Amino acid sequence: MYLTISDEMKKAFPEALHVDPTSFYAAFAQVKDRRGKRGRRYPLPLILTLLLLGKLAGESSIHGIVEWIDERKEQLQGYLGWPRRFPTNSTYTFALSQCNDQEIATVLAGVVLKARAVEHCGEESGRLSKPGQEKPLIQTAMDGKQMRGTLGHQSSEQPPVHLLCLYECQSGIVLAQRGVRSKENEISAAAALLHPALVKGRIISADAMHTQTKWCAAVKRYGGYYLLIAKLNQPQLYEDLRDFFEEEDAPRQQWQYARSVQKGHGRLEIRELWSSTLMNDWFEPQWAGVAQVFRLRRHTTHQKDGKVREEIVYGLTNLPPRLANAARLLQLQQAHWCIENRLHYRRDVTMGEDASQVRLAGAPAALAALNGGGLAMMDWLQVNNVASAMRHFCAQPREALQLLCGKLSR
């Protein structure tokens, strides 16, 4: 498949890249184009591909992407087999505003998931585990993010954007995202993200806000596992856990214990976790399927000034000890913060998301989905320094386009 179909155009652009049916470009065709017929001068897959190309090259704004493309227009026209001029800033913004950001996130995730399955299981690409192997549980973190660049706008057509995401901690894929609507909070938005396809066989970790009985029951009903922290938003749960673990005569010999030590960034951090099944009967009437409770202690020493900080939190999960012992729970708790460090932080700092002034309703969320897809591709390529990789793609646009138009492989 080519962007340009006629033989004459193929001869005019001998360097034009072949578009693989499993590529990002082809996947963008699955995103519904809600523009009117008169507004479809540029195909939506081309627009989304060019935006993602500019993002991979390090441009954080649509204006920057337009200028970056304009500086390389003849080169890019040849690679894409595109004889006309490229879109303007307003064309990109309007096209994004007419897209469903969840659809963009879904098709981007699908390309990376397909590539991962093919690499792991060859032609049996529908699997993520080989025949005879038990399918591994995949940790998926849920957390929200306010897009600061959308705050303070007075027009009803420029509402603030707050996105709630489901993020695969291991692969870096944003499986789904949903905007938190006005007069709504993350708790109600989280219920809308729960779907059997996104929950079954997954460990859903979240912050204390989502420690809600109905939410836990839904995760269990859909075949998933929850891993949650208890704080004062659930006062009875918090007090019961604190009293159990802090009681002087507590049966500690029946608890499991794990410890980890990490040194880096000028601090020494010791994490300790104690888990127990002795409270299951007590909590089961309210917390569906609860299988363990735990106490997590973080002790941090700053090497520069010697300051010490200690934090103790409590939590619960429906993961039984055979699936997650104390050491595994400790690992899962730390891995949850990948959504902050590897997704939200990099979207803000590396992709320039918070500084973006794209305001037309729908466009910021669609652009955020593209940012998440670009980072998932970087993680798939095992890139250690995203900024460095962007400088490389800026200098090698054909290589970046090949990743977007060709079959995704390492």
Cα torsion 244, 246, 247, 249 to 10°: value is 110
Q: Which residue has the higher pLDDT, 153 or 144?
A: 144
Cα–Cα distances (Å) from 81 to 12, 23, 42, 361, 396, in that order, read 8, 17, 14, 32, 18
Q: How confident is the model at residue 16 (pLDDT cuts 50, 70, 90)?
A: confident
pLDDT class of 146 with cuts at 50, 70, 90 = confident
Mean pLDDT over all residues of the chain? 90
Q: What is the pLDDT of residues 241-255, one digit of tens each?
A: 999 999 988 889 999
Give the integer Cα–Cα distance in Å for 367 and 373.
Answer: 10
- Inter-residue contact 137 to 225 (CB < 8 Å): yes
Which of residues 396 and 162 earns the better pLDDT score? 396
Strand partners, 263: 268
Query: Domain ranges in the chain?
Result: 7-101+362-405, 137-344
The values of phi and psi at residue 261, to 5°, are: -125, 130
- Averaged pLDDT, 155-161: 71
Residue 260's pLDDT band, with cuts at 50, 70 and 90, is very high
Rounded to two decimals, the pTM is 0.89
Sheet of 308-317: strand order equals: 174-179, 161-168, 138-147, 202-206, 225-230, 308-317, 292-302, 267-276, 256-264
Residue 161 to residues 155, 157, 171, 316, 350: CA-CA distances in angstroms?
13, 12, 25, 31, 19
pLDDT at 239: 97
The maximal CA–CA distance of the chain, rounded, in angstroms, is 85
Q: What is the pLDDT of residues 80-114, one digit of tens each?
A: 989 899 999 999 999 999 999 999 999 999 999 99
Q: What is the DSSP letter of 181?
A: -
C-beta of residue 53 within 8 angstroms of C-beta of residue 397: yes
> Residue 7 has what pLDDT?
52
pLDDT tens-digit map of 313-371: 999 999 999 999 999 999 999 999 999 999 999 999 999 888 887 878 889 999 999 99
Dump pLDDT digits (tens) for 62-74: 999 999 999 999 9
Low-confidence winner among 4-18, 87-101, 266-280, 381-395 (lowest mean pLDDT) = 4-18
